[in-house]
Amino acid sequence: MLFNSTIFLFIFLPLTLALYFGCQRLFRGASTGKFLLLVASVVFYGFWNPRHVPLLLGSIALNFALGRHLQTNRNYRHAVLLTGLAANVGLLAYFKYKAFAVENLDALFGWQFPVPPVVLPLALSFFTFQQIAYLVDCYRGRLSHYALLDYAVVVSFFPHLIAGPIIQYRDVIPQFESSKSRAFQLAHFNQGLYLLAIGLAKKLLLADTLSYWAVKGFDDLPSVPFAHAWLASLSYTLQLYFDFSGYSDMAIGLALMFNIRLPTNFHSPYKALTIQDFWRRWHITLSHFLRDYLYVPLGGSQGSNGKTYCNVLIVFLVGGLWHGAGWNFLFWGLLHGLAMVTYLSWSRYGRPLPGWLAWFLTFQFVNFAWVFFRASTWADAMKMLRGMAGLSGFILPGALERFAALLKPLSVTRFGNFFTPFYGTYLSYYTISLALAVGLLLVLAAENSNDLRSRFTPRPRTALYTGFLLFSSLMIIEAQTHVAKFLYFNF
């Protein structure tokens, strides 16, 4: 089930809210409401593929049992932790990386093993990392003793189940127990609806619109000229931002409707002046997870510079591979790891850059690296980079067609006709340029959702703004022939 679908917005969400707070009024204690939320979350998850529900529930039961042993039994704790980590990573490897491993082993050794067709269970990467954090925190003695219902409802809580944010149990479980959280709070509902409207608008009005040009450049065209390559790469850069930040806004807003506060996952990452600043702003909860459960155990920055740089590269390689089973994701992680190492070295020995130059270099690197993140194959990535470098020719807007003849002598023979007019065969140069300009303006100049949420007040102007965003989004939903899923559902 998708947040941007009519069945979720008009049936699932209102019904779940009504039953949850209705049960809280009828029955004392929080157990009934938590059980209802658990059932609703399982229905939400199973709506996508019911066959994967036992996998989710089995994973929850196993990790809870292992965590309870780590909390209550002093024997074999290290072995139990390793068993839990192996089980979680093994589950992830089986579904997400088995086909990738077989394919590469076949290519390396000339074997003929068939590549197994595996359907990746929805949210596997997220709830696996979520439960790894639980086991490690139990081993470190950082968590209190929770009931199975508490653990299950937090892991499966539908606002964050599919694509985060990754949460800390000690921050969320007490919220379900609070008597204030169990009563309907109009202020929280209004604030949640406001964030839901913003997130829907980001997804439907911006991300899905920009996706058209990204698909054309990355997937449809065998060769991408200079301007179109840059327009396609920037379209994807903004599409991914609005798609994932929109999802995070909706997740936080939906949780607020149930009086649950989830952690911030985005904070204007494209305003970052360094690559380190970017990762403090982009997918914040994943960055915190990799820092706390991988980078610090590896030794962090406590050793020599060489050891620190090695730890950084390992973290980013794992982060790249977590996003997808492919060399392009691994290379994307390597690029960011090398960029981080370069930044750390520069910060030690180099001179500070002017703010505008630091932002430009950071943004252009991020845009460049997203090419490998988005490309389906290595060849597609090279196609885009050739186009961005101008090695696939230049196509001019129709208004400059008359200058094509003057520029033709400048063409390089091996590139063929380097300058050719553009007649608008698959997109409007001006429309996409305007869309990108609006997107960049919103990203760089507009207030982010965190700031808007912190000073939210229910007044007529805010109500009109929320209503306009909801109405516009619903009109698009009604006009769609199919509901577009979120990009991070692929990971």
Residues with a catalytic annotation lie at: 323
Do 153 and 175 touch, CB atoms closer than 8 A?
no
- Could you tell me which residues are beta bridge partners of residue 421? 396
Quote the tokens at residue 180: 């204030």
The phi, psi pair for 165, rounded to 5°, reads -70, 155
- Could you tell me which residues are beta bridge partners of residue 395? 420
SS3 421: strand
> Any idea what DSSP says for residue 396?
E
Tell which residue, 68, 87, 86, has the closest CA to residue 139.
68
Do 151 and 60 touch, CB atoms closer than 8 A?
yes
Task: Give alpha helix (H) positions in 1-76.
Answer: 6-7, 13-26, 31-46, 53-72
Alpha-carbon distance of 303 to 44, in angstroms, equals 46
> What distances in angstroms separate CA 457 from CA 9, 427, 452, 466, one per listed residue?
23, 41, 9, 12
**Buried/exposed 262-293: b ≥16 CB within 10 Å, e otherwise:** bbbbbbbbbbbbbbbbbbebbbbbbbbbbeeb
Quote the tokens at residue 486: 């979120």
* Tokens 């490690």 belong to residue: 136
Alpha-carbon distance of 233 to 218, in angstroms, equals 8
**Residues listed for the chain:** 491
